[in-house]
Structure 1
């Protein structure tokens, strides 16, 4: 079973309801995911996004540079929410999404991986460890980072919050 980093953009009103009614949030996000085009919308238009299995490497790289917002795990817990795969969802307020988008815009993918190799990720036991142990390039992580940037920028532009979870 894979662990996939998942995101959903929510309006402030939707976030308020999700926090008050966690069961509604799960159903609503399922509907958002179902409504996404099969081909995948442009990151700036999509309401949902995933970082596949790159989430853990992204977390490692962002923590290494002391990124100011936890965009991989979210910062606030939705209390009373069921497990959405590997724990309950967490969220970022519109203000934190805006801060994340600004920090993402200032962080190039090159600066994110400078000085890091797949061997470093293997030594840190970063999921999925098998690909780092094989010495695969960091292009996989970089491509997911580059897709996450416009997703956050669009959410910030629209004043949205973000739900974050591992599935």
Structure 2
């Protein structure tokens, strides 16, 4: 399985309720992903999955102010569910649109990532394939943040380990 991150859109009302009722939020998010209609066209989701740490390495090197594990507000005490406000989503969507993939890719350093144990630490085996994997994950989160911002959504971010 491994460590992974996923985002799914949330209304402000859902995020407010989640803050007050964490157990409700946990069940609600589970039900969203477990729904027979998932993915739902009216509720965008983005799934950087295990690529989140490699993307974080590139964001840090490029000064993109996005920190998967520090941004957002914790909902569950175990650190597996976070809420991201509509304002955070809008700001990130704007920043990501202004950051072309090529700007991030210029900082791809498989040897440094391997030495730094950047999860999932597969960078040394097929560096070009891993770069393409990161490019796909980046495209997915850019699309997610743009779609969520366009609709005025916030998001739930799940962190599984």
Task: Give TM-score, length-normalised by structure 1.
Answer: 0.84
1:66 correspondence with 2:63? yes
Query: Alpha-carbon deviations, 1:124-147, whole Å to 9, x = none?
Result: 211111x21214321001101001
* Deviation for aligned residue 1:9: 1.0
Matches within 5 A, 1:69-88: 69-70=66-67, 72-73=68-69, 75-79=71-75, 81-83=76-78, 87-88=79-80
Matches within 5 A, 1:116-135: 116-129=108-121, 131-135=122-126
Matches within 5 A, 1:79-158: 79=75, 81-83=76-78, 87-129=79-121, 131-137=122-128, 138-158=131-151
* Deviation for aligned residue 1:46: 4.5
Matched residue of 1:132: which SS?
coil
Query: Alpha-carbon deviations, 1:78-124, whole Å to 9, x = none?
Result: 35x253xxx33222211111000001101111111114232232122
Alignment RMSD (CA, Å): 2.1
With over 3 angstroms needed to count, the CA separation of the structure-2 counterparts of 1:93 and 1:154, relative to structure 1, is same
State the aligned residue count.
Answer: 158
Matched residue of 2:123: which SS?
helix
Q: Check conservation: 2:90, 2:149, Cα contact below 8 A.
A: yes
Unaligned runs of 5+ in 2: none
Task: Give TM-score, length-normalised by structure 2.
Answer: 0.87
Unaligned runs of 5+ in 1: none
